Structure 1
Amino acid sequence: MSPAGAGAGAGAGAGGTGRARTSRPVTPVPASTVEHYDAVTDVLVVGYGCAGAAAAYEAATAGAGVLVLERAGGPGGSSAQSGGELYLGGGTPVQHACGFEDSADEMYAYLAAALGPHADEEKLRLYCDGSTEHFQWFVDRGLTFEPTLWDQPTWMPTTKDGLMWLGENAWPYNEIARPAPRGHRCATDAFGGWLVMEKLVAAAEAAGATTHADTLATALVVDDDTGRVVGVRARRHGRELTYRARRAVVLTTGGFADNEEMLADHAPHLIGHGKVSDGLDDGSGIRMACALGAATRRMATVEIALTALPAMVTRGMLVNAHGQRFINEDVYPGLFSVAAVLTQPAPYWVIIDEEGYESIPEKDRWGVLPLHVTGTLAELEAELRMPAGALESTVTAYNTYAARGQDPFFHKDPRWLRPLKGPFAAVDPRAGFHQGGRPSAGAGTGAAGFTLGGLHTTVDGAVLDVSGEPVPGLYAAGRAAAGIHGEGYISGTSLGDGTFFGRRAGKAAAGGA
């Protein structure tokens, strides 16, 4: 949300929804009213997730004095809590070690389709062309990658494999670009965001960046005559502070998944669902910039993750409340999640038979158990309150073609096609992972997500106003900005484009343009 009268880029107060506003004010502070600066630096970075760390490192390496403000007790943010996947390709050493050839053009073709429609072609082209160099940048910062492949659909491998598929080998993408796995994972079991942040923060600090933690930025300081952003007003432990930036301010404050007002105004699809964040993605950086007339892009675009286990979904099927399939289940799981939540009647069910369930290694089941198990499809339909004959019709058609190794409806890869036979089971995503088969008291919808839209920026991170002109002295990167995404998402493209364009923003900010 942005305050009323903040300009067309704000979007949130215009038109009047009749709701009371509870977000704190973000009114710009005229520099003429500032009597004292508590600290002065060249580049002021606001927010210390992956984009902030990358910006701080590059700005400091370029010779600028860098100070990072972080509202939490230390760096990390939502980046540290992420899976840690980095979407990289074009022929990295890990890809070569696993026997895959790749190119920037093939990577671009896949991402343009999977992140589309309407992916940002200029940013995406730069990202793909610079992907192998960006991989080496991570290696130079101390990250290591095992030269091995996790070869099955999953949200997160339970191993240290350095490479994973993220839907590149699923239809229709395998016909758009030559399939090559591009999900790069640093050498740690399961979730690795913490390790990515540990290395990036260490690099930024070694380069000379300093940090003020527990410091909440509340408004931008603006020169009265030129309109240039020259600092930030902040608050720490109840004390008001003002920071001066001689060259530029870089906003890397994250998205707005945790701001219910902004969600209602821009991305209502996430209302009522869980949030994938550290709890502090309140859109504050976006709002502060919009208060200066900054423009935004793609504010309605979201990523959604359904707690449906890909290992089960691929061996069976994903159906809506009417017992109907709606997508090939071997796509990147975020894509089947978005297709479910945004286009299909809930609840959603994973239908699997005993053979399919037992074929999943126990550790890869993540503790997920079916709540409903029946001998016949008619019994399962009744338990799930589906229209009589609906699920039976779906499974009959599926089995007929699966016996021939075909899926003419949705083109699931033959690797996963096999006729399903009783007993049958239904897994409820609302039960979550590691919770057995039954939704707990107060369980949610089985879906969680985050926002992808943000400030409109150039490829070097300069924030643009509603006239398309740069706001002097202001840059943004990460989820505070609109990055490479159109209406789709693939894991690793947040840490990937956040650091890639964070680096560019840090370099440009150090130049003081």
Structure 2
Amino acid sequence: STDAKTREADVVVVGAGVAGVCASIAAAEKGASVILIDASHGGGASALSGGVVYAGGGTVQQKAAGYGHDTPENMFTYLKEETQDAVDEETLRRFCKTSAQNLQWLEKHGARFEASLCPYKTTYPTDRHYLYFSGSEEAYPYNKIADPAPRGHRMVHPGLSGSELWRVLFKSAVGLGVDFMPVSKVTRFLRDKNQRINGVETKTLPKSSPSFTRHKSLSKKEKQYQMSLRPVSKWYHNRALNLWNRDAHLQTLHAPSIILAAGGFSFNPHMRQTHMPEYSNVAPLGTWRDDGSGIALGTSAGASVAKLDRMSAWRFIYPPTALLEGIAVSASGRRMLAEDVYGAALGGIMIQRHAGRGFLILDRTQWRKARQQLFQQTSGPVLMQRFHWMYWGYKKAGSLAGLAAKFGIAARGLEETVREY
């Protein structure tokens, strides 16, 4: 029974986003009994995402789109420059070498990808395209280091595809016998007499509880408003949390192997202020349960942590692609970097070097061209943001000096930059 106070398995996976579900599938394929637990009802931040899998090295979709020249070594060369020291070389090489077969593995478990290449630079393609240059592959200096290739493989599904990617993988996991325990939060590790970890204690709202159905309904509403109306989402989250606090009870899960896949800490203000104060005002992406509890659980077992001072903070200039004809400058008026880099590269430079501020300078012709491209190249949340930019969130002037004055940019630096570029 899933409501039993004590249970056993070969593997317990903590966190049921795409990472946790894939770990569960991999273990089940090898014959292990698996219990997959989640603080909510599954999906995590993955189910709110665009459902894009970064893959290369010669995927079927790349070859069909005319980019069969992408090799694992070419992919590694690019990613090594992009990620710097964030991933050790052995892990990165393995990731690149197995990338194409990993994509096929996802397809085996229900994911769908195709070769409809987006013909323009975008942060997320419309429903007409499902393969695109999702990083800085075509931008300087990366295009001088490795041959550019499209590696953003978007799950085939209308709108944001992450929820469907998660759904098909979760269905496969359950079909393989993975036992799912929703509304379960790990309180501590269990240890044997030799102090080896041999399980976890959870606080679980059982499916037999009268509160379970109500919790699921509240959580569904919470997720529905997470990306658009965050205060409303928080209202639903707090009420679901109250039910869990009131009616959940302790359970014991014994397993020789524990896998943590419980998300980051984007929704933990204290951890953000402690580890990355310069990012503390960045609007977080994810779910309310991205609170760092999985990281804290790992460190409680003696695990080391790294890179807690870094965050993927996005500022995408494109689409529309005409905006890339402008110049991205800092308050000094100097150009910051190539405008067509990945959004996290631009966001990182802005925060680390320019106090989070930057300005895109365009002339009238470029601006009108961008407006004409708006509805052809954007949709969904991207369209809403760009629509605000292009009809309300801008300033204009008859001269560079006048524009600099309105924004508080150094006029001389801006004029010199525009002359140079």
Partner residue, 1:213: 182
- 1:69-124 CA-to-partner distances (Å, cap 9, x unmatched) read 1111x111011111221110010111011101211000011001111145321111
Asked whether the equivalents of residues 330 and 409 of structure 2 are also in contact (C-alpha less than 8 Å), the reply is: no
Structure 1 residues 233 and 146: CA distance shift in structure 2, 3 A: closer
From the superposition, tell whether residues 347 and 312 of structure 1 become closer, same or farther in structure 2 (CA, over 3 Å): farther
Q: Which residue of 1 aligns with 2:256?
A: 247
How far residue 312 of structure 1 moved from its aligned partner, in angstroms, is 5.0
- Paired residue for 1:351, among 355, 361, 374? 361
Q: Distance in 1 between matches of 2:150 and 2:259?
A: 33
Tell me: higher relative CO, structure 1 or 2? Use CA pairs within 8 A at least 6 residues apart.
1
* Mapped contact 2:187–2:202 kept (Cα < 8 A): yes
Please list, as runs of the form range in 1=range in 2, the aligned pairs for 1:357-506 lying within 5 A after superposition. 357-360=367-370, 361-363=373-375, 364=377, 366=383, 367=387, 368-369=389-390, 370-398=393-421
Q: Is the 8 A contact 1:160 1:189 kept in 2?
A: no
Matches within 5 A, 1:64-79: 64-72=32-40, 74-79=41-46
Corresponding position of 1:256: 265
Q: CA 1:251 to 1:346, structure 2 compared with 1: closer, same or farther past 3 Å? A: closer
Is 2:284 the partner of 1:275? yes
Contact 1:160 1:190 in 2 (8 A): no
Which of the residues 289, 304, 329 maps onto 1:295? 304
Q: Report the aligned-residue RMSD.
A: 1.9
Distance 1:272 1:142, change over 3 A: same
Q: Does 1:46 align with 2:14?
A: yes
The aligned counterpart of 1:90 is: 57
Please report how far the alpha carbon of residue 45 of structure 1 lies from its aligned counterpart in structure 2 after TM superposition. Answer: 1.2
Contact map agreement 2:38 2:185 (CA 8 A) in 1 = yes
Structure 2 residues without counterparts, runs of 5 or longer: 206-243
Instruction: Provide structure 1 residue ranges, at least 5 long, that are not aligned to the other structure.
Output: 1-35, 399-513
User: Partner letter of residue 269 of structure 1?
Assistant: E
Given the two structures, how large is their TM-score scaled by the length of structure 1?
Answer: 0.67
Shift of 1:271: 0.9
SS in 2 for 1:111: helix
Question: Across the two proteins, how many residue pairs are aligned to each other?
Answer: 362
- Whole-Å Cα distance in 1 between the matches of residues 52 and 202 of structure 2? 34
**Are the equivalent residues in 2 in contact too, given 1:160–1:186 (CA < 8 A)?**
no
CA 269–332 in structure 1, closer or farther in 2 if over 3 Å, else same:
same
For the residues of structure 2 that align with 1:394 and 1:122, how far apart are their CA atoms?
Answer: 41
Q: Is the 8 A contact 1:160 1:185 kept in 2?
A: no
Q: Contact 2:323–2:366 at 8 Å: present in 1 too?
A: no
Q: Pick one of 83, 97, 115 that aligns with 2:83.
A: 115
- Out of 325, 339, 344, the residue aligned to residue 329 of structure 1 is 339
Choose from 162, 167, 189 the match for 1:198: 167
Looking at secondary structure, tell me which structure has more strand per residue: 1
* Superposition TM-score, scaled by structure 2 size: 0.81
Which structure dedicates a bigger proportion of its chain to helix?
Answer: 2
In structure 2, the partner of 1:473 is none
Is residue 9–residue 33 contact of structure 2 (8 Å, CA) maintained in 1?
A: yes
Give, in whole Å, the separation in 2 of the partners of 1:374 and 1:230. 65
Compared CA separation, residues 117 and 246, structure 1 to 2 (3 A): closer
Q: Deviations over 1:138-178 (max 9, x none)?
A: 11122222322113222111234121112112111112111
> Which residue type is aligned with residue 292 of structure 1?
A
Q: Does the CA contact (< 8 Å) of 2:187 and 2:200 recur in 1?
A: no
Give the distance between the partners of 1:263 and 1:345, measured in 2 at CA. 16
| Post-superposition offset of 1:346 | 4.4
Contact kept? 1:312, 1:350, Cα under 8 Å: no
Check 1:154–1:382 CA distance in 2 against 1; reply closer, same or farther (3 A cut): same
